[in-house]
Structure 1
Amino acid sequence: MAADIRDVTNQPPLLVDHNTVTSDLALVDAVTRHASPDVVADLAALGAQASSAEAREHGLLANQNEPVLTPYDRYGHRVDEVRFHPSWHWLMKRGVGHGLAATPWTSDSPHPHVRRAAGFFAWSPTEPGHGCPISMTYAAVPALRVDDAIAKEWTPRLASTSYDFGLRPAADKRGALAGMGMTEKQGGSDVRANVTTATPTSVDGEYTLAGHKWFTSAPMNDVFLVLAQAPGGLTCFLVPRVLADGSRNQLDVVRLKDKLGNRSNASSELEFRTTWAQRLGDEGRGVRTIIEMVAATRLDCVLGSASLMRRALAEASWHVAHRSAFGGLLADKPLMQNVVADLAVESEAATALAIRLAAAVDRADDPHEAALRRIALPLAKFWVCKRTPAMVAEALECLGGNGYVEESAMPLLFRESPLNSIWEGSGNVNALDVLRALSREPEVLEAWITEVGLAQGEDPRLDRAVHAVLEQLADSTTLEVGARRLAGQMAACLQGALLVRFAPAEVADAFCASRLGSGYGGTFGTLPVGTDLAAIVRRATPLG
């Protein structure tokens, strides 16, 4: 009897060694479409490592062993150091080593940002917290370019594929990481309410800062872009963690935030007291200077949320493919097929839009691509990030009670799922940014119409949805109160157009019927009768 009790049956094997790049058909199709099969092949080693049992274990350990702040050393000297678990360093070394930080900005590849986006998508859900410093490092370079001398000094360091942890002068390190500090406790997203002050020194372009920053992730990074009030108004500054002479800049880590998720990442409050800084751009032009960094981090919010969807979908589809109940495999039950297929449609739509945005970065010199990126980034940031928590929760439910325990990694994904909707502007901020772009830059609406117009006539539900958006735009009196509805509709139309043009017919049909048609039930698992559910599920299930 004891031997029978110890026998384990009807439990799915651990989802490992499925290659998060090459086994993801939606990702492979998007990368091939916007880049080439060579990029997929180049990322195969990353995908293999990301899906390994070793990476899965390090991801769990990095979250279970949170960073620890040491404000003083044993003798009472202020050090403000954060200690991380070895698994954090294991993940960071490989993420940076695979070129997921600022490497694309110095690459001579024809598709560096698509490659990096696909790699970030495939790697970051291994453990999402460490994606934050990698993302900020990627995003810093466009802002640095406002000053040629600063950009030439810092870009090669940030673009390095060497992870070199520790507080030393950046010139002495094999690679560097960047962070940013914009928000303050009294303003949040309203950065013009910042009260941190910047006082010029006797040296042109150098200042001392005084103030408190409410959210600054990864305080052990080597350099930060921050906003502060200079005599000429809100200005962007570069703040190194360690000065060129080896002394530590006056930057106090007040505390680490105790967060819902993203727990492996050290998000902190900082205080500046006579903190040395270099001005980046002109005084009073801080928002304009840092806006390119914001755009790049918004892209990573979309990629990060889409990748969480994909990881959650992989876990759910794998589970139901190996778990039996009520006389058969869960994957063969019509209602479970509907749920997983619906999750798969959501994931593929997010993947297609995220990689399309990365392709726009690669083609930034094209006016259409630049205008599309301007409008599609806040649209996607609003819509994809807002859809993620509900999607991940439904995927967790597919595993039943097994999905509610930490070992499954599903709680980690669920806690992470709301983050990207908040970071770099909440839903309202992004929806209002859509209105701002539409009112000030008429070319962005033309770019959106052109992009969705490439699928015109292919599906009447998509055509009707596009027409409904244009009708809503015609009534200026209701735009602000309806900004979320408008942003969601515009983003869904972009997704629908991409799927109608490029996805398998059953995926595109399911999306248009459920997201653009009438009668959508509001919960996952409500695809209409007649949808080829089995084909959609097969496409989404990892290959074991």
Structure 2
Amino acid sequence: MTGSTHTVSNQVPPLVGYDVFAADRALTAAVERHLDPDLLDEALSELSGLGRTSGSAQVQEWGAQANENPPRLRTHDRYGNRIDEVEFHPSWHRLLGKGVSAGLTAAWTRPGGHVRRAAAFLVWTQVEAGNGCPLSMTHAAVPVLRTDPELAAEWEPQLTSQVYDRDLRPAHLKAGALFGMGMTEKQGGSDVRANTTSARPLAEDGTYELTGHKWFCSAPMSDGFLVLAQAPGGLTCFLVPRVLEDGTRNVFLVQRLKDKLGNRSNASAEVEFDGTWARRVGEEGRGVPTIIEMVAATRLDCVLGSAGLMRQAVAQAVHHCAHRAAFGGKLVDKPLMRNVLADLAIESEAATTLALRLAAAYDDGGEQERALLRIAVPTAKYWVTKRCPAVAVEAAECLGGNGYVEESGLPRLVRESPLNSIWEGAGNVQALDMLRALRREPGVLDAYLREVGQARGADHRLDGAIKNLLTELADLEGVEGRARRLAERLALVLQGSLLVRFAPPEVADAFCAARLGGDGGAVFGTLPHTLDLASVVERARPVS
């Protein structure tokens, strides 16, 4: 029966049926800027196709379903046999299949592949972030396996395939494969050199038997895993296949699944090795240097994932305020709400612009760009992932009480938002890694200063921030205690330089005023009221 006491009015239509990529002006501009013109038409067409898929009502529903129906662990079958399988909702498999087919694991084999994949990853994250974990780890495993040409020849075709093959079979029988990783243990956490999992050499050269545990192992239904264990020669990297070549299951005991704050569609497990067969990757005792390429790539994905979450939060907030009326007009036209939305928008655009610049450095691959990545990836990972929760919470507040209700989708973004700051090394780990790069690799500071120096003279607030940064860098006495402050300044100056060079003047002006010039507060919505905030908000509006 229909109630007769009221009619529904002034409710905002759902943000569906739009092109998530094309509606993101900062992202489309970055792709156009960083891709070779010969690749641009094909890339824009692909990304727009993924954008329409991502914005469709059906795919958005798949994301909600995957989140609402978390994976279930089945340790044994009905007969009591140990099987260690994780069951996922069908929507999870649909999403993962779409991600694989969109090339989110194929960057290493395509021209301009990293920029194209980065844009796609940022778009796809906005549907459902959990399935990004196996996609990210699979993508990042490729450079590690390339340290062993034999392993790369065996696995890379499946890892870079655009076919999702979910069946557990030997890798050589599969059309596509996914990878996971296992580094941390109960007693060590980020201090992987404290790992106790042991690796005993077997008769066949390069093969070992592992005994031990991993405290966090995401996507345990993957086809292979890169793990660290203590070999006779020290901490070493190993490849653990889920299924052996003869079709039998490797010993991979899934003890339990983690009950997480967010990222609930993705299974994160505690696993045990008990005579588990593995192949060595790289030299004994060189485990960390071998796997570091994977860590760097997944850290960039943390930046991309956070940029995607921020963009979706801002898109939802601007969309809501553009349709919702209050106090005699649309919320988006109210000066104070406009200030909040503009402040959120410049944070989102700065994150997107920085993430795509780093992806372009991967495509370039030159010495200067590698040096820039060495300092910029941990710095960006530190800062962008820290800003994501603040953006998500403020965007939810823009929807009022509606933003606190699950149906709006904002609570899912809020719960997801802290993850990327924790995964692949929390904030202190990133800040210390940034310091390590400054101390041990002199070329990284030169690469950074060359990058930010390209905007010198264009904005006095940026110039002042660069000068102050150089003063801080000149005094590294007791620097560890202020490493977070230094990482923040490095990130803000780099973002400011990129926006001054590439963003519309109103965006760069607002960012430099609030983030570099001291004309902004500790919370969003404190931009100088004299700026062109209406143009900043309109640029962020999700209209294709």
TM-score, normalized by the shorter chain, greater than 0.5? yes
Q: Is it true that 1:363 corresponds to 2:367 in the alignment?
A: no
Question: Who is 1:245 aligned against?
Answer: 246
Question: Who is 1:285 aligned against?
Answer: 286
- Aligned residues between the structures: 540
Question: Who is 1:390 aligned against?
Answer: 390
Question: Who is 1:381 aligned against?
Answer: 381
Q: Is it true that 1:505 corresponds to 2:505 in the alignment?
A: yes
Question: Who is 1:208 aligned against?
Answer: 209
Structure-1 separation of matches of 2:535 and 2:108:
39
Question: Who is 1:514 aligned against?
Answer: 514
Q: Give 1:364-513 correspondences, 5 Å limit.
A: 364=365, 366-513=366-513
Q: Is it true that 1:106 corresponds to 2:109 in the alignment?
A: yes
2:104 match: secondary structure:
coil
Structure-2 separation of matches of 1:162 and 1:335:
48
Question: Who is 1:88 aligned against?
Answer: 92
- Runs of 5+ unmatched residues, structure 1: none
Q: How far is 1:173 from its partner?
A: 1.3
1:126 match: secondary structure:
coil
Q: How far is 1:300 from its partner?
A: 0.2
1:393 match: secondary structure:
helix
> What's the TM-score, normalizing by structure 1?
0.98
Structure-2 separation of matches of 1:297 and 1:206:
26
Q: Is it true that 1:50 corresponds to 2:54 in the alignment?
A: yes
- Matching residue's letter, 1:236: C
Change (3 A) 1:279 1:397: same
Structure-2 separation of matches of 1:186 and 1:468:
40
Structure-1 separation of matches of 2:172 and 2:125:
28
Q: Is it true that 1:64 corresponds to 2:64 in the alignment?
A: no
1:472–1:479 CA contact under 8 A, matched in 2: no
Question: Who is 2:526 aligned against?
Answer: 526
Structure-1 separation of matches of 2:281 and 2:536:
49
2:115–2:360 CA contact under 8 A, matched in 1: yes
Q: How far is 1:2 from its partner?
A: 6.2
Structure-2 separation of matches of 1:383 and 1:298:
12
Change (3 A) 1:25 1:4: farther
Structure-2 separation of matches of 1:264 and 1:46:
21
2:103 match: secondary structure:
coil
Identity of aligned residues (%): 63
2:314–2:344 CA contact under 8 A, matched in 1: yes
Q: How far is 1:77 from its partner?
A: 0.3
Structure-2 separation of matches of 1:167 and 1:75:
20
Q: How far is 1:388 from its partner?
A: 0.5
Q: How far is 1:106 from its partner?
A: 1.9
1:414 match: secondary structure:
helix
Mean CA deviation greater in 251-260 or 168-177: 168-177
Q: How far is 1:3 from its partner?
A: 5.3
- Matching residue's letter, 1:461: R
- Runs of 5+ unmatched residues, structure 2: none
Q: Give 1:33-432 correspondences, 5 Å limit.
A: 33-35=33-35, 36=37, 37-38=40-41, 39-101=43-105, 103-107=106-110, 109=111, 111-364=112-365, 366-432=366-432
Q: How far is 1:483 from its partner?
A: 0.3
1:43 match: secondary structure:
helix
2:519–2:527 CA contact under 8 A, matched in 1: no
- Matching residue's letter, 2:18: H
2:239 match: secondary structure:
strand
CA displacement, residues 354-398 of structure 1 (integer Å, 9 cap, x when unaligned): 00000000011x111111111100010000001100111000100
- Matching residue's letter, 1:197: S
Structure-1 separation of matches of 2:214 and 2:414:
27
CA displacement, residues 231-257 of structure 1 (integer Å, 9 cap, x when unaligned): 000000000000000000011000000
Mean CA deviation greater in 451-460 or 477-486: 477-486
Mean CA deviation greater in 470-479 or 281-290: 470-479
- Matching residue's letter, 2:343: D
1:186 match: secondary structure:
coil
Q: How far is 1:154 from its partner?
A: 0.4
- Matching residue's letter, 1:306: A
Change (3 A) 1:282 1:2: closer
Structure-2 separation of matches of 1:142 and 1:316:
38
CA displacement, residues 435-469 of structure 1 (integer Å, 9 cap, x when unaligned): 00000001000011000000000001101111111
2:318–2:540 CA contact under 8 A, matched in 1: yes
